[in-house]
Amino acid sequence: MKKSEIRKVYLEKKGSLTESEVHSLSEKIFANFFSEFNLKENQKIHCFLSIPEKGEVETKLFLNYFFKSKIRVFVPKIVKGKLIALEITEETPLIENSWGIKEPAGNEDCGVKDYDFIITPLLYCDEFGSRVGYGKGFYDRFFAEINSNAMKVGVSFFPPNEKVEDVSEFDVPLNYLVTPTEVLSFGNLESKSTK
């Protein structure tokens, strides 16, 4: 399938999930993430701030864990058409922007490029790690600017079924995909089922 078709299908699928389904599936993704990855104090994690009402994985579960574990947390913010990163703590006030995304007030990029993990939003990811986002290319440009050995981890309610046909040279593949039932590694295409 082409990205435009995938966006249409998966926006509809996400939109049909109930609030309780989003919460339950998010908890399974959270559990699978931590069964696969052993994070340590002071590691640097870049994690998107989700909108669960729009069918996105609840990253608040991740953030609460990171804060308690003294893991450094960075979140994205779009400023003048570019994705920047801001470091936050449990006490950082978040303000809702025009898209309904809560974000920190600052507009100054933190300058960090050496992340350990990047928890990445997506609409869909295929079995090769090709990610379909919302079509603005923010994350592909962001990935190109940071250290290449950062683990790019997508989180999705849906398994990879369709191959993304129109992958471009600018599309940066993910290293892992975490779903409610499995963790896929795209280094060797190995699936670790947690059913």
Q: How many domains does the structure of the chain reveal?
A: 1
Picking from 74, 65, 55, 73, the residue whose alpha carbon sits closest to that of residue 14 is: 55
Structure tokens at 58: 């609840």
Which phi and psi (to 5°) does residue 159 adopt? -75, 160
- CATH assignment at residue 140: 3.40.50.10420
| The pLDDT of residue 51 | 83
> In the structure encoding, which two tokens stand for residue 149, read together?
């050995």
The pLDDT value recorded for residue 193 is 43
The tokens describing 20, both together, are 């309780």
Tens of pLDDT along the chain (195 residues) come to 999 999 999 999 999 999 999 999 999 999 999 999 999 999 999 999 998 778 899 999 999 999 999 999 999 998 888 899 999 999 999 998 887 788 898 888 899 999 999 999 999 999 999 999 888 888 988 998 998 889 999 999 999 988 999 888 888 899 999 999 999 999 744 444 444
Residues 6+ apart with CB under 8 A from 82: 138, 141
Domain that holds residue 105: 3-193
**3 state SS of 72:** strand
Tell me the Cα Rg of the chain.
16
Q: 178 with 36: CB under 8 angstroms?
A: yes
**Dihedral, CA atoms, 156, 157, 160, 166, nearest 10 degrees?**
-60
Q: Is this prediction's pTM over 0.75?
A: yes
